Structure 1
Amino acid sequence: MQHRELSLGWLLAPLTVDTFLEDVWGTTHYHVKRDSPGYFDSLLDGSASIDELVGLLRPDLSLFGMVRGDDKKQPYLYRRPDGTFDAERVGKDFADGYTIVLESVQRYVRALAALLHSLEVELNYPAQVNAYITRPESRGFVCHYDDHDVLILQIRGSKLWHVYDGADVAPHRMSRHDPVDPSALPPPTDVHLGTGDLLYLPRGRVHAAEATTEVSVHLTLGLQAPTLLMLVTRALNALSYSDDRVHTQLPPRYLNAPEVRAGLSTLVRGVAEALEEPGTVAAGIDSLDDDLVRRGLSPPVGQALSNAVGIDGRSRVTKYQPLYSRVTDVPDGVTLHFAQLTVKAAADHADALRFVSDSTAPFRVCDLPGLSAAQQAELARSLIVSGFLVRLPD
């Protein structure tokens, strides 16, 4: 099944994606108020009760936590001596005002994984979903900030968010994990998030939240935008595979001899100049590209074998969505990369593979460029069996 409706546009509606990226992203918080309590029902496949949500992560206690203010309890506290999950202790601490934190919920719910990868495809940013369950009139975290942008989805109940405009934490302070000084904060802007509402917070925006008179369940979609530091690091790492200057050993006594230390700048300058080369930067970007490909949602193949039977030029197909892919040149041809899979082909298939990788709409097999009719059918069959293409009714 393709989750076409699970997209950034669907999350933000009626705010348009273009307006969000041009006027809101990285600049200000934004509240999408819907008055539509069932808006997010499709995300958790009906698993909206506390027991069901907690049960999602029972196989991996490392993704489970309990938080109340500055107090965060370690996951091992909720494992019995026989290794089973101690739900009774979870219930007791929850009743005492602790918020239940479930990390990386997309690992267990396919609809969330599909939504997440849809955002990754559109924004080119890695993302993660965490779930938070808070009892009535309780608060989980104290005033804090995130080092990444977040979209907050209110799944059940409501929550009051205190957003401190004008007190953003600078990126260099985030990297040092500087704490928030509550006494230095301005009066907050209060945002009441109802069921079905969404709140966007840019990175570094100080905030806190508290539940109202009912149990609150919300999801946070963390958007991990790569930074220039990450790009330079990847480019430097790529350079290390071809340029021995990167592997130059530091001279003996470089810590103790001032004249030796002064000479290090000359060594660094040469590597820095190499980093300015377009090919080096491109190699860093390719490394980030590979990360996004590997994060791809593996398509379910199901009936793929039977769907590949009888493929010809008139057959209609479309790329499985959401799916990020890229095509690279290799010595003996080209390779299509998607999810954790690859499809290799001869060099004469390059245009066809780039066509399918870039496609966003259905097409007919005969539209594949640069191939004979037999090659078109064979490539289409291969991509259907692998799950990359989905066959449509003729």
Structure 2
Amino acid sequence: MSTTRTDSQDPGAPEGAGVLETRLIDIGREEFARDVWGRTALLTRGTGDFSDLFSAEAVDELISRRGLRTPFLRVAKDGSTFPDSSFTSPAGVGATISDQLDDTALWRRFADGATLVLQALHRTWAPVSDFSTRLSTELGHPVQANAYITPPQNRGFDDHYDVHDVFVLQIAGTKRWIIHEPVHPDPLRDQPWTDRSSAVAEAAKGKACLDTVLEPGDALYLPRGWLHAAQAQGEVSIHLTLGVHSWTRYALAEQLAQAALALLGDDPEMRRTLPLGVDGPSGEIDTVRERLAAAVAEADSTSLFHRTRRAQGRPAPLGPLAQIAAVEGLGPGSGVRLRGALEARLEDSRLTTRVGWLDFPETDLPSVTRLLDGAVYTADDLGVELVGRLLRAGVLVPVEQ
């Protein structure tokens, strides 16, 4: 049985209070975890200026100059989503890709009252990407980011619920949010609101548990399943939604069942063919139940959990030119640190990360363990040969001294 020596921390994570406490809520982390997380909505007024994360200028930059393609943008109005073909087109000579955003078509849709949804900003806008990574590290759950840009007095979507928790950050303008309690608490990923559209519509007619207008600097937390609808007020509204894809006990059960089934695949009795002419499971189900229960008791899904978790995110950006320069210029005084958001784990002599795994001799393990704290080291601190190997693998990145 392997033993985990240490888990890495995100090298970009702050010491002490993180972005959750300093930028999203005005209560302590422990109180949030105990009384709010996954339980109820939380409105926080005036948490600060979010313009360092996103802005109107960022919207125009992304739409008009970055060559974005679908599905990095959706367009919606009054609960209906427009087909991609209505706001995309080829990009001309040298970039004849048919699904690039057409800024003129988008302008016309927006001027006619449509909401623009910039999706996956954790992939396309560096400040949002860095913030999402830090928040994900603090929460222990994957985080995605979308921006919603809505013309005055319009709404993009009808009352609905999400299958992930959200933090809403009001960037510019104002937006009225009407919140109702869940009709289906804690929905799973395959339990969307459209499966319960009648119940959602009926609940939305009742008294709201929160009816408020968000202003720039306000933040709103909603657990998955909470009904909401939002409408821009007298000016263009921009808000950023950070979606938290929470791990659940159900997900752990799925992984445990998968590990148990793998064990049963090695059981000759479970591989045996059922009797000829069998017309139902009744004669076999007790045996299967007994062996399945034994396999569940024996199964260890820990490695599957960490493998799945690594697959749900991406490591911090790595510049290939800076990386090759670091490799070629490597010397005893070269500064390096662990690449951010690697989900690095050292188990026995194997380091597993989001960019692959590496085995090490016993003599290297103390240095590998040290670098997992995310601190800056010189190549001489860890060993020049080891640092060179980890730079080439994309596990370490150069740091200016």
Aligned in 2, Cα 1:303/1:257: closer, same or farther, shift over 3 Å? closer
Matching of residues 321-360 of structure 1 within 5 Å: 321-329=340-348, 334-357=349-372, 359-360=373-374
In the alignment, what sits opposite 1:122?
Answer: 138
Give the number of aligned pairs: 370
Q: Is the 8 A contact 2:38 2:223 kept in 1?
A: yes
2:396 to 372, 388, 391: 388
CA distance in 2, matches of 1:216, 1:16: 29
Q: Is the 8 A contact 1:61 1:76 kept in 2?
A: no
Please state whether the residue corresponding to 1:350 is helix, strand or coil. Answer: helix
In the alignment, what sits opposite 1:52?
Answer: 61
CA distance in 2, matches of 1:56, 1:3: 29
2:158 to 128, 132, 142: 142
Please state whether the residue corresponding to 2:61 is helix, strand or coil. Answer: helix
Please state whether the residue corresponding to 1:290 is helix, strand or coil. Answer: helix
2:279 to 243, 257, 263: 257
In the alignment, what sits opposite 2:249?
Answer: 228
In the alignment, what sits opposite 1:182?
Answer: 201
In the alignment, what sits opposite 1:297?
Answer: 316
CA distance in 2, matches of 1:378, 1:49: 42
Q: Is the 8 A contact 1:126 1:225 kept in 2?
A: yes
Q: Is the 8 A contact 1:174 1:204 kept in 2?
A: no
In the alignment, what sits opposite 1:99?
Answer: 115
1:156 to 2:180 alignment? no
1:62 to 63, 71, 76: 71
Aligned in 2, Cα 1:3/1:121: closer, same or farther, shift over 3 Å? closer
Q: Is the 8 A contact 1:319 1:388 kept in 2?
A: yes
Normalised by the length of structure 1, the TM-score is 0.79
Q: Is the 8 A contact 2:149 2:237 kept in 1?
A: yes
In the alignment, what sits opposite 2:3?
Answer: none
Q: Is the 8 A contact 2:314 2:342 kept in 1?
A: no
Normalised by the length of structure 2, the TM-score is 0.78
1:30 to 2:42 alignment? yes
User: Which blocks of at least 5 consecutive residues in structure 2 are unaligned?
Assistant: 1-10, 91-95
Please state whether the residue corresponding to 1:348 is helix, strand or coil. Answer: helix
Residue identity in the other structure for 1:27: R
CA distance in 2, matches of 1:94, 1:250: 62
Deviations 1:85-126 (A, max 9, x none): 433332222222221112112221122222222223222212
In the alignment, what sits opposite 2:227?
Answer: 206
Q: What is the CA distance between 1:178 and its match in structure 2?
A: 1.8
Which protein, 1 or 2, shows the higher relative CO under an 8 Å CA cutoff with sep ≥ 6?
Answer: 2
Q: What is the CA distance between 1:14 and its match in structure 2?
A: 4.0
Q: Is the 8 A contact 1:33 1:198 kept in 2?
A: yes
Q: Is the 8 A contact 1:311 1:380 kept in 2?
A: no
